[in-house]
Structure 1
Amino acid sequence: MTQLSPNILLRCTILDSSGSIKTISGVFKKSELCSHHGLEPRDLRKIDSRVPNLVPTILARRSGILINILHIRAMVKSDAVLLFDSYSTADTHLHSAFVYNLEYNLRLNTSSLPYEFRALESILASVLEALRSELSWLRIVVDDLLEALEDDIDREKLRMLLQISRKLNGFLSRSRGVKGSVTEVLESDEDMALMYLTDAKLGRPRTKSSDLEELELLLESFEKQVEEVIAEIEQIYANVNNTQEIVELILDSNRNKLLTLDLGTSIMTLGVSAATLFVGLFGMNLTSHLEEHVHAFYIMSVIAYIMAAVVTVGGLRLLARMRRIGLSVDGSHASVDQTHPRKPDSRLVSHARAWWWRENQFRAMQREQLQQGLSMPERRTVSGDPLDPAELNAGPSPHAQPGVAAPRTPPKEPAR
C-alpha cells in the first residue's frame, strides 16, 4: 500500500460532545473516515502524520474543520473532535497538556461559544503556548550566547551562533505560516460561514453576508497574539544579525592588524637588507683605499645604520598613510578642500546684490508714492501693480555714489 491509498490506517483519539475521550489512539482506515465524516481523501492528506506537510492550514468543510498547525492535526465537528496522532511530535508533555485543556474546555459549558468554537479556541491556545515556550527557550539561549561572545570569540561559539541563527529563521518561518493560515480564513467570509457547524446542524446555516463577528473576534485575537510573537522573534533575530556583523568587523580588524604587523616586519627587514647591501659592497676583494683609514669602520657603520633607519621609517610612514581611511572617495581632494575652502562664485554674488538693490529701490519708490497725497483707489493701484520686468533688469548705475539714491521715474497716472 502507498501513503495515498484509501485503505491506509490512521490513528486518532476521539472526544465526544461532552468532552470525554471516546477512543484513545484508535486505528481507522482512511476510506472509513472519509465515508463516515463526508470527506475526500485529499482532505485527510493534509492531516495525515506520515505525509510531510510544513505549511499550517485551516480548512473549512461542510462536515467539519480540518486543522494542521504545528503539533496539532485535528478535525473539529459540531459534536466531536478527532485528534490524529503526530508521530513527529517530540514534546509529549505539550501534547498531553493540550488534550487535558481540550477536555476541560469542552466539558465546561458556561461559555456562550458553540462546541466547535470552544474546540478551536483550545487548539489555537495550545499553538500559541507552543510558540511562546519555544520563544522563551530561544531568548534564553540567545542572551547567554551573546553575553559569552562579548567576553571571548572562538570557533565553538561562532558555530553555536550559526545554529541559533538557523533555528531563529525556522521558527520565524513557522510563526509567519501560522499567522498566514489564520489570516487566510479571516479574509474569506465563505470559509468563516462554513465554520458555524452547530448552526448548520440546527438548520440555520450561515452565509458570507451573515453576522460572523463571534468567530472573527476569536481569530483576530489569536492573530494579534501571534503578531506579538513574530515581532519579538524578529527583534531577537535582528540582535543576532547585528552581533554577527560586529563579530565579522572585529575579525576583519584583527586580520588587518596581523597584515599590518606582517608588513611592518617586512619593511624593517627591507631596511636591514639595504644596510647589509651597503656593507656587502666593502666585503668584496677589491681595493677601495679605505682599508687603512683610521675612522673608516665607524663612518661606514654609521652610514649603514642611518640607511637602515631611513628605509624603515620611510616605509612605516608610507604604511601608516595608506592605512588612514576616510569616508571621502579621494583623501587628497578632501584635504585640499579643507585647507582651501571653496569661495562663492563672484558672478552669483554680483547678481544677488544687483537684484537686492533693485528690489529695495522699487520698495522705496512705492512707499514715497503712498506717502504723497494720492487717493485710496490710486494707492491700491500703485501698491497692487506687479514689479516691472524692465525695472528688475535695470541694474545700479556704475557711476552712482554709495548712499545716493538713483533718480526715480515719475509714477504713471492710473487708467481712468
Structure 2
Amino acid sequence: MIRLRQSIPLLRGIRVASFIPCTARRSLHNCRVQAEPAPYNNTAAMLLQKNLLHRNNTLYGYGNGTIRYTAFDSQGNTKASSVEMKREDLVAQHGLLPRDLRKIEKSKKNDLVPSILVRRDSILISLLTIKALIKADTVLLFDSVGSGISLNSSTHRDFIQVLKQRLKNETSDETSSQAQPYEFRALEAIFVFALSNLTSEMRVLLTITQGVLTDLESDITRDKLRLLLIQNKKLKVFYKKCVLIRDMLDDLLEDDDILCDMYLTDWKEGIVRIEDDHSEIEMLLETYHNHIDEIVQRTENAISNVKTTEEIINIILDSNRNQLMLLSIKFGVGMFALGGAIFVGSLYGMNLENFIEETNYGYALAFVVGIGSTIWFYVLGIRSLHRLQRMSLLNTLKQKRKG
C-alpha cells in the first residue's frame, strides 16, 4: 500500500492515451501505457494550425506578405521602381481595407473578372493585366506575375510610357488632357492600353477565323474542323472577357454616388459633388463603353458565323450520310431482285426430271423468267424507295389526321 501511494503522484503529470490490459499469465513487460506530455501536444497543435493557415493563404492568395509596385508622382515621373511593401503597411498608408487587396493578390492567378473599387481618396482598378491604385497625385502600378506579365516586361514598359505621357499632358489633344484631373488621365491611359490590346487580339482572332471559314467553303477536312473548334473556343473566351468589362462599365455608369466619388482631386480640395454633377467621368466611361461594345458585337458576329458554318457542315454531313444509306438500300434492292433469277436457276438446275431440257425452248424460258422477275422486283423496290423520299411534312400531317 505504501508503494502504491508513492507511485500515484508520479502519474499526475502524464496523460494516458491508451491502455492495454494485461492478463494474469502475461508478464509485466507485455503491458503498454502510451503517455505524452501536455506541452508536446500543444506544440504539435500549434504547428498543425500554422500549416493549415499557410495552405489556406497559399490556396486563395491572401496574406502573402509583400506586394511589389512602381509609383508615379503628380508629374508622371517614376517616384519608386519595383518597391516591395507589406500589405499591412500598404493598407494603413493609403486608407484601404484589407479585403481590397484580395483582387491584387488573386491576380497572381488567371483572373479575367475586372473590377474598379472607389474608396475615400483612391481608386483601385484591376483591368486585364493592369492592377493599379490611383490617387489624386500618385499612381501605384502593381505587378501581375500570374498572367506572365511582370513590371519588367516589354508590354508593361510600353504601358508605362503611355501612362507617363498622359500624366505629363504630352498627348496630341492638349486642351482636353489639360482639362482632365490627374486621376482621369490615369484612368484614360489604362482604358486606352486595355482597349488597344483587346483590339489587337480581336483582329488576330477574326483574321484566323475568317481564313478557316473560307477554306472550309472549298474543302471540308478533319484538320480544318479541328482548327475551327479551337478558334471557336478562343473566341468564346475573348467574348466573355469583353462582356465582363462592358458589364463593369454599365454598373459604374448606373451608380451616381460612385461616379461622384471618382473625383479625387475635388475631394482633396474640399469640393463636394452632388448626384448629377459627374458629366466628365460619365462621358469618359461612355466613350470606352461604346468601343468595348463594338468589340463585343464584332466578336458575337464572328461566333455566330462559326455557329452557322458548323450547322451547314452538319447538314452537308447528314446529306452525305443519307446518300450513303440510300446507296446501301439500292444495293439491297438489287440483291433482292436477283433472288428471282437465282430461284428460277435453282429450279432449272435441279437433278429432278422436269422434261424442260428435252425441249428446244427450255433454256430461253428459264432465262426470260429469271430476267423478268429480277427487273420486276427491282422496279417495285425502287418505286417504293422513291415514294418514301418524296414524303414531305404536309403528307406526314395528313397521315396523322387520318390516323
- Please tell me the TM-score bracket, short chain as reference: 0.7 to 0.9
Find the counterpart in structure 2 of residue 12 from structure 1: 69
Specify the code of the residue in structure 2 equivalent to 1:179.
R
CA–CA separation in structure 1 for the residues paired with 2:164 and 2:238: 28
Secondary structure of the structure 2 residue equivalent to 1:83: strand
State the Cα distance separating 1:293 from its structure 2 match. 1.2
CA–CA separation in structure 1 for the residues paired with 2:183 and 2:122: 9
Secondary structure of the structure 1 residue equivalent to 2:133: strand
Q: Which residue, 224, 227, 245 being the options, matches 2:293?
A: 227
Secondary structure of the structure 2 residue equivalent to 1:328: helix
Find out whether 1:26 has 2:80 as its counterpart: no
Find the counterpart in structure 2 of residue 171 from structure 1: 238
CA gap of 1:65–1:269, structure 2 versus 1, over 3 A, is: same
CA gap of 1:135–1:318, structure 2 versus 1, over 3 A, is: same
- Relative to structure 2, which stretch is displaced further, 1-10 or 274-283? 1-10
Specify the code of the residue in structure 2 equivalent to 1:18.
Q
Find the counterpart in structure 1 of residue 375 from structure 2: 309
CA–CA separation in structure 1 for the residues paired with 2:197 and 2:304: 22
CA deviation vs aligned residue, 1:265-323 (integer Å, no higher than 9, x gap) = 11111111232122112222222221211111111111101111111122122212212
Superposition CA RMSD, Å: 2.1
> For the Cα contact (< 8 Å) 1:94–1:130, is it kept in 2?
no
Find the counterpart in structure 1 of residue 267 from structure 2: 200
Secondary structure of the structure 1 residue equivalent to 2:208: helix
Specify the code of the residue in structure 2 equivalent to 1:171.
F
Unaligned runs of 5+ in 2: 1-53
CA–CA separation in structure 2 for the residues paired with 1:325 and 1:81: 72
CA–CA separation in structure 2 for the residues paired with 1:142 and 1:182: 28
Specify the code of the residue in structure 2 equivalent to 1:107.
K
State the Cα distance separating 1:58 from its structure 2 match. 1.1
Find out whether 1:82 has 2:148 as its counterpart: no
Find the counterpart in structure 2 of residue 107 from structure 1: 168
CA gap of 1:283–1:329, structure 2 versus 1, over 3 A, is: same
State how many pairs are aligned.
334
Please list, as runs of the form range in 1=range in 2, the aligned pairs for 1:293-332 lying within 5 A after superposition: 293-330=359-396
Specify the code of the residue in structure 2 equivalent to 1:199.
D
TM-score, with structure 1 as normaliser: 0.76
Specify the code of the residue in structure 2 equivalent to 1:103.
K
State the Cα distance separating 1:30 from its structure 2 match. 1.2
CA–CA separation in structure 1 for the residues paired with 2:62 and 2:88: 9
CA–CA separation in structure 2 for the residues paired with 1:7 and 1:286: 101
Please list, as runs of the form range in 1=range in 2, the aligned pairs for 1:108-147 lying within 5 A after superposition: 108=169, 110=174, 111-147=178-214
CA–CA separation in structure 2 for the residues paired with 1:319 and 1:121: 69
CA gap of 1:139–1:34, structure 2 versus 1, over 3 A, is: same
Specify the code of the residue in structure 1 equivalent to 2:135.
K
CA deviation vs aligned residue, 1:372-408 (integer Å, no higher than 9, x gap) = xxxxxxxxxxxxxxxxxxxxxxxxxxxxxxxxxxxxx
State the Cα distance separating 1:51 from its structure 2 match. 4.8
Find out whether 1:35 has 2:102 as its counterpart: no
CA deviation vs aligned residue, 1:146-190 (integer Å, no higher than 9, x gap) = 111011111111111111111111111111100111111111111
Secondary structure of the structure 1 residue equivalent to 2:104: coil
Please list, as runs of the form range in 1=range in 2, the aligned pairs for 1:7-406 lying within 5 A after superposition: 8-48=65-105, 49-90=107-148, 92-108=153-169, 110=174, 111-207=178-274, 209-330=275-396
Find the counterpart in structure 2 of residue 380 from structure 1: none
> For the Cα contact (< 8 Å) 1:102–1:123, is it kept in 2?
yes
> For the Cα contact (< 8 Å) 1:196–1:205, is it kept in 2?
no
Find the counterpart in structure 2 of residue 390 from structure 1: none
Find the counterpart in structure 1 of residue 51 from structure 2: none
State the Cα distance separating 1:224 from its structure 2 match. 1.0
Unaligned runs of 5+ in 1: 335-416
Secondary structure of the structure 2 residue equivalent to 1:293: coil
Specify the code of the residue in structure 2 equivalent to 1:116.
E
State the Cα distance separating 1:52 from its structure 2 match. 4.7
